[in-house]
Amino acid sequence: MSQPPTTVVHTAEARTHGRYVVRAPSTVASESAPILVGFHGYGENAEHHLDELSRVPGATAWLIVSVQALHRFYARKTGTVVGCWMTSQDREQMITDNLRYVDSVVEAVTGHSGAARPLIYSGFSQGVAMAYRAATRGSRRASGVIALAGDVPPELCDDTRLTWPGVLIGRGREDTSYTSAHMGHDLAFLATTGCHTESVVFEGGHHWHDEFRQAAGRMLETARLRGPHEVSSS
């Protein structure tokens, strides 16, 4: 009896175009402003995340860059174009592609000048993992990470070579996606890296909250005043 044909899975590198939206600072020139780069959650888009970041106190002094995930689809109820950062399929390749993409965005908004200025990465939900990856494995040194309702990705926990900036972590008390146990695990891990961490737990669920925005605003102000160096979130 003949054997069934063998199926082999391959991957092929492909060039694609991503999309990001930028909001200029209202107080200084974009070319000299500190930079806040954000990553939206699953089923959201860059415009939505830009609006959330713009509501953080003091964000008007920053050049805000909201990056949209490469994998787009239509929201079922509204028909709005939204995105997803990655799935478990070909995970390592997707991480590499996403980091290359983010680096290209940062280079574009800095004008390839290499001029040192504060750079903070922010993520919500699925976008938190991207914020952590960009801050520790990106081409530019990060001043801090603002992480709301999302985990430290596992591959970063296994890499002892990484340098971690200060991190602000937040979650809603009723959030069933990013639970108290998840936050506890992340805080315990981050303590081993030696980075400064601050955590905020607010009344609510899996969403942005003014209490967390206030803490994020304090981190932005500290980074802006200290200049292009690693900052604490307090």
CA 205 to CA 227: how far, in whole Å? 34
Q: What is the pLDDT of residue 117?
A: 92
How many other CB atoms are there within 10 angstroms of residue 169's CB atom? 27
Q: Please, are residues 131 and 39 in contact by the beta-carbon 8 Å criterion?
A: yes
Q: Please, are residues 141 and 117 in contact by the beta-carbon 8 Å criterion?
A: no
How many other CB atoms are there within 10 angstroms of residue 158's CB atom? 8
Pairing type for strands 35-39 and 63-68 reads parallel
How many other CB atoms are there within 10 angstroms of residue 111's CB atom? 10
Q: What is the pLDDT of residue 114?
A: 55
Q: What is the pLDDT of residue 205?
A: 98
pLDDT in tens, the chain (234 residues): 678 889 999 999 888 999 999 999 988 888 889 999 999 999 999 999 999 999 999 999 999 999 999 999 999 999 999 999 999 999 999 999 999 999 999 999 987 555 689 999 999 999 999 999 999 999 999 999 999 999 999 999 999 999 999 999 999 999 999 999 999 999 999 999 999 999 999 999 999 999 999 999 999 999 998 876 555 444
Fill in the DSSP letter of residue 40: -
CA 14 to CA 68: how far, in whole Å? 18
Q: What is the pLDDT of residue 187?
A: 98
Task: List, as one string, the DSSP characters of 181-232.
Answer: HHHHHHHHHHHHHT--EEEEEESSSSS--HHHHHHHHHHHHHHHHH-SS---
Backbone angles phi, psi at 37, to 5 degrees: -110, 125
Pairing type for strands 71-74 and 144-148 reads unpaired
Q: What is the pLDDT of residue 111?
A: 78
Fill in the DSSP letter of residue 56: S
Radius of gyration of the chain (CA): 18
Q: What is the pLDDT of residue 113?
A: 57
Question: What is the distance, to the nearest Å, from the Cα of residue 204 to the centroid of all Cα atoms in its chain?
Answer: 21
CA 147 to CA 57: how far, in whole Å? 16
Q: What is the pLDDT of residue 80?
A: 97
- Name the fold adopted by 19-226: Rossmann fold (3.40.50)
Q: Is 177 helix (H, G, I), strand (E, B) or coil?
A: coil
Smallest CA-to-CA distance from 130 within 105, 162, 157, 102 is with 102
Q: What is the pLDDT of residue 112?
A: 59
CA 23 to CA 156: how far, in whole Å? 30
Kindly report the pTM of this predicted structure.
Answer: 0.93
Fill in the DSSP letter of residue 60: G
Kindly provide the residue ranges of all beta strands, DSSP E only, lying in 49-186, ordered along the sequence: 63-68, 71-74, 81-84, 119-124, 144-148, 166-172
